[in-house]
Amino acid sequence: MDERLLQAVGDQEAYVVGGAVRDELLGRPVVDVDIACPEPAESARSYAGLAGGAVFPLSDRHGAWRVAFRDGRTVDFTPLPDGIEADLRTRDFTINAIAIPLAGGEPVDPHGGRGDLEARVLRAVAPQIFADDPIRLLRAARLEDELGARLDEETERLARAHTQLVTSTPGERILGELVRLSHAGFRRLDELGLLAPLGGSLEKLDRAEGIDIPGFSLICVFGPALESYPISNRLRRQARTVFQAERPPDGSARSLHRFRRVTEPWSREALVYLGANDLLAALEESRASDPAEPLVRGDELGLAPGPDIGRLLEQIAEERAAGTISTREDALDIVRRDRAT
């Protein structure tokens, strides 16, 4: 345990709670730590000063504070107004309702979380967990996915009874859960009746197999509906490129060059999304044959600055890719013929 945490909370009653305890018991890496204590603001500021992190309020409503570090680690400090057992009663699943005293001692586990953890069972702490916070519907599928766990029968019944609430959560929270799902996680989301209300479908999920590119599974599952979520600008550009792509008419060098011109650097993903896997080998061949240098530069064409330069350079690049020209003189011939017409 970080001695600076003990120093930051001082004589307060304080506990490590939630996912940090769960992951520690499972032997998984602990990246984010949650500390429940009576004075979270004071403790967070103190710990930030001791450990060199950035401190800021995480939730005005709940009084939580976060200390964030450059390496991505975070330590959250949450209020403990009525004691640890009252705090644990507000948690989502029993495996997340275990607390360990920061100063040392036996775990506090009033809901049998350790037993459920060993059995890889996700059990609701209370019947109202999904009504209290609908993001837990998605978290249930994500935890099943990440931990190899399964909802117990009653908790699954509760989840299915609250599916209509899944869209009531802010988009950024929904996206935060979706980006962590594997393909099996998306299938489980669909099985629970949660995927369609979010705008998703399994129709093209299989096309994402073998494409280890962040966000591509989301593109395949949500299609154009993905743009309704607060995705990054890069993912938005990738998604629009893929959605607007048209299948090349054939696998010729010219067709692939034209396709790549409007889809790179996401040409492979665009072909897969279009179901054109038969053209992947030709695409890789096209990429491998890219020349290191152009035959000519724009300032060598003898033209005044303007759109004609870009048009001619692209024409030269296409003819070179198609194999009809190969030298600088060939390229300049194209320019001369164009100027003569």
Helices within the chain (DSSP H only): 3-9, 19-26, 40-51, 84-88, 113-119, 129-132, 135-147, 153-161, 171-178, 183-191, 216-222, 233-244, 253-263, 267-273, 280-288, 307-322, 328-340
- Rg, the chain, Cα only: 28
Contact predicate 89/132, CB 8 Å: no
pTM: 0.87
* Least confident window among 203-207, 217-221, 269-273, 336-340: 336-340
The mean pLDDT of 181-207, rounded to a whole number, is: 96
Region 313-320 average pLDDT: 95
Domain boundaries, the chain: 1-119, 123-198, 201-290, 298-340
pLDDT at 28 > cutoff 80:
yes
Q: Average pLDDT, stretch 221-234?
A: 96
Residue 35, number of CB atoms within 10 A of its CB: 26
pLDDT at 82 over 70: yes
Q: Would you say 162 and 130 are in contact if contact means Cβ atoms under 8 Å apart?
A: yes
Determine the Cα–Cα distance for residues 332 and 244; give it in Å rounded to an integer. Answer: 33
Distance CA 280, CA 271 (A): 7
Provide the mean pLDDT of the chain.
94
- Region 109-125 average pLDDT: 97
Q: Which CATH architecture has domain 123-198?
A: Orthogonal Bundle (1.10)
* Residue 153: per-residue pLDDT: 97
| Mean pLDDT of the 225-238 span | 96
First to last CA, the chain: 78
Lowest-confidence pick of 178-192, 210-224, 268-282: 210-224
Q: What are the residues facing 15 on neighbouring strands?
A: 36, 101
- Tell me: the pLDDT tens digits for 49-58? 999 999 999 8
CATH 3.10.20.30 fits 1-119, yes or no: no
With residues binned 3-state (H G I as helix, E B as strand, rest as coil), the percentages for the chain, rounded to 5, are 55, 10, 35
Confidence category of residue 340, pLDDT binned at 50, 70, 90:
confident
Which range is least confidently modeled, 19-28, 47-56, 58-67, 111-120? 58-67
Does residue 143 carry a pLDDT above 80? yes
CA distance 43 to 227: 39
Tell me the pLDDT band of 1, cut-offs 50, 70 and 90: low
Q: pLDDT-derived band of residue 214, with 50, 70 and 90 as boundaries?
A: confident
Residues of the chain above pLDDT 70, percent: 100
